[in-house]
């Protein structure tokens, strides 16, 4: 389609991202502000078409789902020896480590297992880029724009063969976590007070298969 055409002739959206010489990673990066403006437009676009909060979250999840499906393929293609993950814990480490690094430039802040249910796991991020500049007005209640990221996680898990329901929740941070978050990030003018928790609820057959593999 685009073979043989130079960068100048291609549509700007099809051109590869510029590689900046002084950056250590070899993949091009985009400025956070550019992403913030684009994401803000995405949210506004969907907000005009929905009537309820859960609908808006669902549309953002669908948008992220497609990203997630492709992110796994890209990560597998780019890593040198990629063995397909078959165990539950290894796929969760893959998501919170490799996928997070390739998308956001750093690993997720923590991976936890829920005490109450054995099919629920939580990935915690103190500074999700989708909600860094967004404060939800009180009349929209519990809307979490991080549903975009939970859609990405859902797509990754689905594509890797671990179907799950992923939801995003905003949880207030306690003192220690706030100190850690502030220390690791100097970009934000206003420090965050809430962290994002992505709750992954795996389906029955995933747990059964994992238990069978254990033996």
Partner 1 sequence: MFLSLFIVNQSGGLVYHRPLSPLAPKIDTNDWLRIGSTFHSLHCLAAEAAPVRLPKNRNQRTGADDGIEVIDAGGMILQCLQTRTGMKFVITSTKTKEDCDLSAVLREVYLLYVDCALKNPFYELDMPIKVDLFNRGVDLLIEQYHSSGGSSRR
Nearest residue (CB) to partner 1, 98 versus 147:
147
Nearest residue (CB) to partner 1, 40 versus 167:
40
Nearest residue (CB) to partner 1, 43 versus 178:
43
- Nearest approach in angstroms of CB 133 to partner 1 is 4
- Nearest approach in angstroms of CB 64 to partner 1 is 16
- Nearest approach in angstroms of CB 123 to partner 1 is 24
Nearest residue (CB) to partner 1, 41 versus 73:
41
The beta strand positions in 64-149, using DSSP E, are: 110-113, 120-125
Binding site for partner 1 (CB under 8 A): 33, 36-37, 39-44, 47, 133-137, 140, 145, 188-191
Nearest residue (CB) to partner 1, 172 versus 190:
190
Query: Rounded distance, CA 176 to CA 208, Å?
Result: 37
3-class SS string, the chain: CCCCCCCCCCCHHHCCCCCCCCCCCCCCCCCHHHHHHHHHHHHHHHHCCCCCHHHHHHHHHHHHHHHHHHHHHHHHHHCCCCCCCCCHHHHHHHHHHHHHHHHHCCCCCEEEECCCCCCEEEEEECCCHHHCCCCCCHHHCCCCCCHHHHHHHHHHHHHCCCCEEEEEEEEECCHHHHHHHHHHCCCCCCCCCEEEEEEEEECHHHHHHHHHHHC
Nearest residue (CB) to partner 1, 6 versus 31:
31
- Nearest approach in angstroms of CB 189 to partner 1 is 6
């Amino acid at each position: 389609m685009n073979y043989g055409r130079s960068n100048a002739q291609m549509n700007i959206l099809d051109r590869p991202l510029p590689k900046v010489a002084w950056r250590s990673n070899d993949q091009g990066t985009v400025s956070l502000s550019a992403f913030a403006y684009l994401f803000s437009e995405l949210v506004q676009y969907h907000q005009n078409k929905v009537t309820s909060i859960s609908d808006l979250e669902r549309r953002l999840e669908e948008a992220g789902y497609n990203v997630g499906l492709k992110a796994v393929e890209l990560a597998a293609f780019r890593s040198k020896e990629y063995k397909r993950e078959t165990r539950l814990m290894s796929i969760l480490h893959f998501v919170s480590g490799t996928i997070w690094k390739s998308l956001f430039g750093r690993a997720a802040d923590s991976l936890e297992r829920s005490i109450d249910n054995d099919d629920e796991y939580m990935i915690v991020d103190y500074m999700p880029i989708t909600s860094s500049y967004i404060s939800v007005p009180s009349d929209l209640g519990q809307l979490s724009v991080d549903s975009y990221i939970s859609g990405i996680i859902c797509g990754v898990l689905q594509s890797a063969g671990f179907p799950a329901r992923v939801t995003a929740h905003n949880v207030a941070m306690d003192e220690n976590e706030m100190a850690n978050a502030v220390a690791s990030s100097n970009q934000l003018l206003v420090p965050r007070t809430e962290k994002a928790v992505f709750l992954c609820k795996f389906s029955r057959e995933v747990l059964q298969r994992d238990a069978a593999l254990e033996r």
